[in-house]
């Protein structure tokens, strides 16, 4: 049934566009998968999962199952608190989590509760989606952030499966693409099939409404990325933290996290200047992509800087100036061994920032560059609680000056650390509960049809 607010011509246009997309995605799928495999973007042995071919048994055939889907590591980490919450509330309920990228797989597979099944998500082509849904038979699909895939959403709607979009966001670029004459009927039809949309911000809510999401389906609950850092470290993580603290030997330390290619030049120049007045200073440099560690290593060798790669397990000595973290999934732990965290992906115009709530949760003084993309709403929310919670910089010169102050003024540093941690605590309080209560409320009709009581 088309939504009442959409004209009949738009509904017909949406269906026509969907049929075109359906045919095109079916034709393109083999080439897309081959290209991704040749680029090393697919798991060498688990790539058939991308065609909807399972590598795990479906628990309790005929019973309800909840499917969570997140494309990559950031979205997957935001989904984890909700997954854990669901496990606690509904022990014994089969839960499936899918992601798309290898980096998400490497990290998230080790963080999931034992009862949760992990699979790679199917490509959005009719055959893969139908095979996947036909095998797993989910009663509820929970999508993260911007995962609007026509075949997945339309197939779920045809089968009466409720679909919720959490932490919903749409970049201005995507919004402009969907807003054109050819895109609007299709996206409007897709969005009308969702049971619930929980947007990241008011701006995001407006964009979804302008794309004809029924207003009664849009509800606010907070940003799940605040919940990512709200996890106490386990025994293994605590031992790692203790070991690193012993190696660092109370030296003044700062960390540059999620650094993209090109940003390392800014970070290393700043560190070189800081060492002139603070000779024992240690930099923990964490590239966003571990493969970029090679470029960082070459740059450090060229500058004859003493550095250690984390993957080698080499001990950090008093002569070590840079500790390069070329491993995955340790960022949350590393925030706990440094008083200052500079969050990258924000110092070049082509970038769009990263989540700084994990650094705030660990009690770091948090700094970020000028280019923060959709994380700007998080920046504003933290500033509203305390302007010292996050310091946004215009570039390299301001970064150097801010670090000089924090490394020389312990009271200024402590004030920023406390502001960040307090602001995070306020923002994260209850967000997972609010999100799951909305999911339970707005998906309940469809859930009950399939026998799930949430």
Express as a percent the part of the chain with pLDDT over 90: 71
Q: What is the pLDDT of residue 2?
A: 42
CA gap 140, 356 in Å, rounded: 30
Q: How confident is the model at residue 7 (pLDDT cuts 50, 70, 90)?
A: low
Average pLDDT over residues 105-113: 88
Quickly state the pLDDT bin for 179 (edges 50, 70, 90). very high
**What is the token pair recorded at 20?**
């075109």
Question: What SS3 class is residue 270?
Answer: helix
Does 452 or 9 have the greater pLDDT score? 9
DSSP 8-state assignment for residue 171: -
pLDDT, mean of residues 434-440:
92
Cα distances from 411 to residues 248, 367, 418, 437, in angstroms, run: 22, 17, 11, 41
Round to whole Å and give the CA distance between 189 and 12: 10
Half-sphere exposure of 27 (CA within 13 A, CB side): 6
> H or E element: which one contains 219?
none
Write down the H helix ranges in 256-330: 263-277, 293-302
Q: What mean pLDDT do residues 201-224 have? A: 93
What confidence score (pLDDT) does residue 441 get? 87
Exposed, middle or buried by CB within 10 Å (0-12, 13-18, 19+), for 340?
A: buried
pLDDT for 1 beyond 50? no
* Lowest mean pLDDT across 92-101, 264-273, 332-341, 443-452: 443-452
Residue 147 has pLDDT above 70, yes or no: yes
Q: Are 371 and 258 in contact (CB under 8 A)?
A: no
Q: Indicate the pLDDT class of residue 3, thresholds 50, 70 and 90.
A: very low
Chain centre distance of CA 352: 13
The pLDDT of residue 184: 93
**366, 420 contact by CB (below 8 A):** yes
Query: 202 exposed, middle or buried (CB, 10 Å; 0-12, 13-18, 19+)?
Result: exposed
Report pLDDT digits (tens) over 309-365. 999 988 899 999 999 999 888 888 999 999 999 999 999 999 999 989 899 999 999
User: What is the Cα 120 distance to its own chain's centre?
Assistant: 16
pTM of the model: 0.80
Banded pLDDT at 225 (limits 50, 70, 90) = confident
In three-state secondary structure terms, 240 is helix
- Number of Cβ within 10 Å of residue 43's Cβ equals 16
Cα–Cα distance for residue pair 170/209, rounded to 1 Å: 11
**pLDDT surpassing 70 at residue 210:** yes
- Average pLDDT over the chain reads 90
Q: Is 75 a catalytic residue?
A: yes
Residue among 166, 227, 153, 172 nearest 199 (CA):
166
Least confident of 27-31, 54-58, 327-331: 327-331
Neighbours of 9 (CB within 10 A): 9
Task: List all residues 6 or more positions away from 65 whose beta carbon is below 8 Å from its beta carbon.
Answer: 58, 59, 93, 94, 95, 96, 136, 137, 138, 139
So what's the pLDDT on residue 6? Answer: 46
Confidence check: pLDDT of 233 > 80: no
pLDDT at res. 10: 61
Adjacent-strand bridge partners of 254: 283
Phi, psi of 30 (to 5 degrees): -60, -40
Nearest to 51 by CA among 103, 120, 104, 118: 120
Give the position of tokens 């923990």.
Answer: 284
**pLDDT given at position 230:** 61
Residue 129: which pLDDT band, with cuts at 50, 70 and 90? very high
Q: Give the active site residue among 19, 42, 49, 75.
A: 75
- If pLDDT is split at 50, 70 and 90, which confidence band does 4 have? very low
**Alpha-carbon span 261 to 268, nearest angstrom:** 12
pLDDT band, residue 12 (cuts 50/70/90) = confident
Q: How confident is the model at residue 181 (pLDDT cuts 50, 70, 90)?
A: confident
42 closest CA partner among 58, 26, 53:
53
**pLDDT tens-digit map of 83-104:** 999 999 999 899 999 999 998 8
């Amino acid at each position: 049934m088309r939504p009442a607010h959409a004209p009949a011509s738009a509904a017909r246009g949406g269906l026509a566009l969907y049929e075109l997309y359906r045919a095109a995605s079916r034709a393109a799928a083999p080439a897309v998968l081959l290209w991704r495999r040749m680029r090393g973007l697919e798991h060498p042995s688990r790539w058939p999962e991308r065609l909807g071919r399972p590598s795990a048994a479906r628990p309790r055939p005929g019973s309800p199952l909840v499917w969570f889907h997140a494309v990559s590591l950031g979205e997957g980490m935001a989904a984890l608190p909700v997954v854990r919450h669901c496990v606690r509330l509904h022990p014994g309920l089969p839960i499936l989590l899918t992601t798309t990228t290898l980096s998400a797989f490497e990290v998230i597979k080790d963080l999931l509760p034992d009862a949760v099944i992990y699979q790679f998500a199917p490509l959005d082509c009719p055959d893969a989606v139908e095979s996947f849904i036909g095998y797993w038979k989910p009663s509820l699909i929970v999508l993260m952030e911007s995962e609007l895939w026509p075949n997945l959403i339309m197939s779920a709607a045809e089968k009466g499966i409720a679909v919720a979009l959490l932490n919903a966001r749409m970049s201005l670029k995507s919004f402009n693409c969907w807003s054109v004459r050819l895109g609007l009927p299709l996206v409007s039809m897709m969005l009308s099939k969702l049971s619930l949309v929980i947007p990241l911000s008011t701006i995001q809510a407006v964009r979804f409404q302008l794309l004809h999401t029924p207003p009664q389906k849009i509800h606010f609950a907070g940003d799940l990325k605040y919940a990512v850092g709200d996890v106490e470290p386990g025994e293994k993580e605590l031992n790692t933290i203790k070991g690193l603290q012993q190696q660092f030997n109370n030296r003044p330390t700062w960390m540059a996290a999620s650094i993209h290619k090109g940003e390392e030049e800014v970070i290393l120049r700043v560190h070189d200047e800081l060492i002139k007045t603070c000779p024992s200073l240690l930099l923990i440099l964490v590239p966003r992509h571990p493969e970029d560690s090679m470029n960082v290593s070459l740059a450090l060798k060229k500058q004859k800087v003493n550095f250690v790669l984390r993957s080698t397990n080499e001990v950090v000595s008093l002569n070590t100036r840079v500790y390069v973290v070329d491993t995955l999934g340790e960022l949350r732990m590393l925030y706990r061994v440094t008083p200052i965290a500079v969050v990258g992906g924000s110092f070049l115009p082509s970038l769009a920032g990263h989540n700084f709530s994990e650094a705030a949760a660990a009690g770091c003084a948090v700094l970020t560059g000028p280019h923060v993309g959709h994380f700007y709403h998080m920046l504003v929310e933290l500033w509203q609680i305390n302007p010292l919670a996050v310091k946004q910089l215009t570039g390299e010169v301001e970064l150097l000056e801010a670090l000089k102050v924090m490394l020389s003024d312990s009271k200024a540093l402590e004030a920023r650390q406390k502001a960040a941690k307090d602001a995070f605590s306020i923002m994260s309080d209850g967000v997972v509960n609010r999100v799951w209560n909305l999911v339970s409320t707005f998906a309940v009709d469809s859930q009950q049809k399939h026998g799930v009581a949430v």
